[in-house]
Chain A
Amino acid sequence: IQQLSNQCLSKDERDAYISLLERRMQHEPLQYIIGKWDFHFLTGLKIKKPMLCPRPETEELVELVLAEVGNLLRDWKEKRKMRILDVGCGTGAIGIAIANKYPAAVQVVALDVLPEAVDLSNENAEQFLSRYSAHGDSKLGVKSIYEAMLCSATHFTNNTTNTSRDLSKKKYKMNFDIVVSNPPYIPLKDMIDLSSDVVEYESYEALCGGVDGLNVIRDIVHRLPEWTFSSSLRAKHCWMEVDESHPRHLARWLSPGSVEARRCGVEYVESYTDFCGRDRFVKLRVS
């Protein structure tokens, strides 16, 4: 850095720098200006608007899921890879960070409703995971470890086909072992309080979860039993990052043994706080 500080900028460099500064003065998020940022152990994850810039809390969500993956792997008897579903992948951060730790053991399918998010996730996957796909399933390449697809939570069923060029007519097995999501969860009333660098640049759909913030979360809960259907007795968990108000709502709604929990086929297990002591993460179980 000392060497850099002694360099003189050319006129072009100066102009480029000033235009970047001007963008920042408009409160454009730094990650969009630079085009990348670090997340978990992914150095230089590409970030483009309007996809949500990964927050530090989400790194903790990844750590929680990685702990479960580690536990499951110790007794893993299936011949297939462990399958993980990332709902609302955005930049791809969560799914790729998980696959990055266990590339040989895990296969991630990721969903998003924005085509730009699907493209960006696959691009990032190529950058970070292609080094692991050199051997083995080389015909599929990175897709054997990570694949993002354009689809909403509600519409993702065993009849869904991937409409992208290279994977047309491909269907997906609904036997996921873990579901993870950082869904849009901000309640409508809180959207007004957001600072301009968030609300003017990041996608509304990625932030707002409806009146109570639980819209997408409800969609996910209703799909969970179908996604994780399998003959194995092993418990299937869903991990989500949520708004502070959500853990107690979910605890009430999906209380183990309650009518609703039995109807949905999903039970609330517990919640975890983030490093600021806020209720931030919930763990659900498909019963």
Chain B
Amino acid sequence: NNKIIYLSSPPTEQNIFLKTTNVPVTMKITATTAITSFLILGAATTIPTIDAFAPTFLTRISQHAPSTSSTSSTCLLMALDSSMKERLDGIRRSYLALTERLADPDVIGNSNLLMQVMKDRSQSEEVVQAFDEYTQFETELVGAKELFQEAGDDNEMREMARSEIKDIDAKLEELEERIKILLLPKDPNDDRNCMLEIRAGTGGSEANIFAGDLLDVYRKYMTDQGWQVTMIDSSPGDDGGYKNVVLEVKGDSVYSKLKWEAGVHRVQRVPATETQGRVHTSTATVAIMPECDEVDIKIDPKDIEMSTMRSGGAGGQNVNKVETAVDLVHKPTGIRIKCTQERSQLKNKELAMKMLMAKLYDIENEKREAEERARRGDQIGTGGRSEKIRTYNWKDSRVSEHRLGQNYPLQSFLSGEIGQIIDGLIAKDQEMKLRQLSEEGAN
């Protein structure tokens, strides 16, 4: 039922208006020069008359497509409009400028500057390459359409040209999708390292053991990813597992992947401590805090009350106790951090401050995200702290990811293969952002 109409006599942009008569139309502008094509969805009983349309109309995307499935890419078909192309041109220009800078001897001599330039450049590399491919295909399409035109009555030629046009169209579509995703606003914290905290929730010993199980799973995943993991603080549970455990995770794109783990995890199983074989439900809360430095969070030393094992009684040379634990209270927020990890008290102090900064930064992020979530309605967020994100059911051997509405095999999860779930969440987030963008565009 979908038709593609080609205008044989190329009109200029200025003198075409498209009158739609209740026909779902998605316009696809493939070349700003010769030929414009219109993809008409659904059964069109009347072919819309084509008079002229102004450039502004060209950039508007009308999405009246019957939505059979929300993921159907033809329904979300948005061409790269001229403002987007301008933006891409700008990105390409800066990319080339940065590439030139890499050859600058001043830059080469300064290793910090060199790393910064390389980092900035690599961030745009993917989208520039995709855009280059895109413009190349656009040129090829022009050629193919010219061929089609010149074919005249030669059916064989027309068929060849037509199938080539179809191929290129498909490739252009794919590239458009990719470019759009690459242009989506990125979470500024995505590239950061982070702290992962697992806290046992309701369920007593069983919750502690479950927290320990989650820790094992995450550890396996982190090793697979090649990330560096350091345990910062832990309070073991009496019967196993942990009441609370904090890890520092360093590596590539750590936050962008782990952020999806934040929230309340629920487990349904017969606990190891259960004598009568009843199934219990317990919870553990995972918090993911992007690492931050003094640029992100300023802490007034006056707001901090620090106590150590040496407070009270004599100190200095008079006492030799090796308890170097540091206890930190941030008075304005009441956040309390205990750090016992290091043998050097100074190092414990620094670690505790690091944790405090991460927590404060996390609170700010959470506030900001909550505001955005409220504004956007039902968007899949990186989870309010108390959002129940997953349920693990031992009897049915299944993990239910509630944000995706999907189940996964429990065994793969327990072996540390959580990549599948994370990829699904990332994909869904991108899809929602794309939809958001198109809705905003239509308004």
Q: Name B342's contact: one of A38, A53, A63 (CB within 8 Å).
A: A38
A residues at B contact (CB < 8 Å) = 29-31, 37-43, 52-53, 55-57, 59-60, 63, 182, 184-186, 190, 193-195, 197-198, 202, 206-207, 241, 243-244, 274-276, 278, 280
Flag whether B345 is at the interface (Cβ < 8 A): yes
Contacts of B349 in A (CB 8 A): 275
Q: Name A41's contact: one of B306, B310, B344 (CB within 8 Å).
A: B344
Please tell me if the beta carbons of A56 and B318 are within 8 angstroms of each other in the complex.
no
Q: Name B347's contact: one of A29, A41, A194 (CB within 8 Å).
A: A41
Nearest 3 interchain pairs by C-beta: A56-B345, A38-B343, A38-B344
CB distance from A190 to the nearest CB of B (A): 7
Check A276/B320 contact, CB under 8 A, given A38-B344, A38-B347, A41-B347.
no
Please tell me if the beta carbons of A274 and B315 are within 8 angstroms of each other in the complex.
yes
Flag whether B10 is at the interface (Cβ < 8 A): no
On chain B, the number of residues with a Cβ less than 8 Å from chain A's Cβ atoms is 21
25 contacts between A and B (CB under 8 A): A29-B320, A30-B322, A37-B343, A41-B347, A42-B344, A52-B317, A55-B317, A55-B319, A56-B310, A56-B324, A56-B345, A57-B310, A57-B316, A59-B345, A184-B317, A185-B317, A186-B318, A195-B319, A198-B318, A198-B320, A244-B316, A274-B316, A275-B306, A276-B312, A280-B315
Interface code B308-332, partner A: CB below 8 Å = 1, 0 otherwise? 1011101111111010100000000
CA distance A93 to B406 in the complex (A): 58
Contacts of B335 in A (CB 8 A): none
CB distance from A259 to the nearest CB of B (A): 31
CB distance from A238 to the nearest CB of B (A): 18
In addition to A29-B320, A57-B310, A59-B344, 5 A-B residue pairs with Cβ atoms within 8 Å of each other are: A38-B342, A56-B308, A198-B318, A243-B317, A275-B308
Contacts of A202 in B (CB 8 A): 320
Contacts of B312 in A (CB 8 A): 276
CB distance from A51 to the nearest CB of B (A): 12
Contacts of B342 in A (CB 8 A): 38
Flag whether B346 is at the interface (Cβ < 8 A): yes
Contacts of B322 in A (CB 8 A): 29-31, 37
Contacts of B319 in A (CB 8 A): 55, 195, 198
Contacts of A274 in B (CB 8 A): 315-316
CA distance A42 to B342 in the complex (A): 12
Name B346's closest neighbour in chain A (CB-CB): A59
Contacts of B343 in A (CB 8 A): 37-38
Q: Name B320's contact: one of A53, A184, A243, A244 (CB within 8 Å).
A: A53
CA distance A206 to B319 in the complex (A): 13
Name B314's closest neighbour in chain A (CB-CB): A193
Please tell me if the beta carbons of A55 and B320 are within 8 angstroms of each other in the complex.
yes
Q: Name A57's contact: one of B306, B315, B344, B347 (CB within 8 Å).
A: B315
CB distance from A243 to the nearest CB of B (A): 7
Name A56's closest neighbour in chain B (CB-CB): B345
Name B310's closest neighbour in chain A (CB-CB): A276
Contacts of B320 in A (CB 8 A): 29, 31, 53, 55, 197-198, 202
Contacts of B344 in A (CB 8 A): 38-43, 56, 59
Contacts of B346 in A (CB 8 A): 40-41, 56, 59-60, 63
CA distance A59 to B324 in the complex (A): 12
Which of B317, B320, B345 has the largest count of A CB atoms less than 10 A from its CB?
A: B317
CB distance from A25 to the nearest CB of B (A): 16
Contacts of A41 in B (CB 8 A): 344, 346-347
Name B348's closest neighbour in chain A (CB-CB): A56
Contacts of A278 in B (CB 8 A): 315-316
CB distance from A273 to the nearest CB of B (A): 11
CB distance from B232 to the nearest CB of A (A): 14
CA distance A52 to B346 in the complex (A): 18
Contacts of B317 in A (CB 8 A): 52, 55, 182, 184-186, 198, 206-207, 241, 243
Contacts of B316 in A (CB 8 A): 55, 57, 185, 241, 243-244, 274, 278, 280
Contacts of B314 in A (CB 8 A): 190, 193
CB distance from A192 to the nearest CB of B (A): 11
Name A274's closest neighbour in chain B (CB-CB): B315
CA distance A185 to B342 in the complex (A): 28
Please tell me if the beta carbons of A193 and B347 are within 8 angstroms of each other in the complex.
no
Contacts of A241 in B (CB 8 A): 316-317
CA distance A201 to B360 in the complex (A): 44
Contacts of B318 in A (CB 8 A): 186, 190, 193-194, 198
CB distance from A227 to the nearest CB of B (A): 23
CA distance A184 to B316 in the complex (A): 11
Interface code B286-316, partner A: CB below 8 Å = 1, 0 otherwise? 0000000000000000000010101110111
Contacts of B310 in A (CB 8 A): 56-57, 275-276
CB distance from B143 to the nearest CB of A (A): 62
CA distance A275 to B320 in the complex (A): 16
Name A208's closest neighbour in chain B (CB-CB): B317
Contacts of A207 in B (CB 8 A): 317
Interface code B336-352, partner A: CB below 8 Å = 1, 0 otherwise? 00000011111101000
Name A184's closest neighbour in chain B (CB-CB): B317
CA distance A30 to B342 in the complex (A): 15
CA distance A53 to B324 in the complex (A): 13
Contacts of B347 in A (CB 8 A): 38, 41
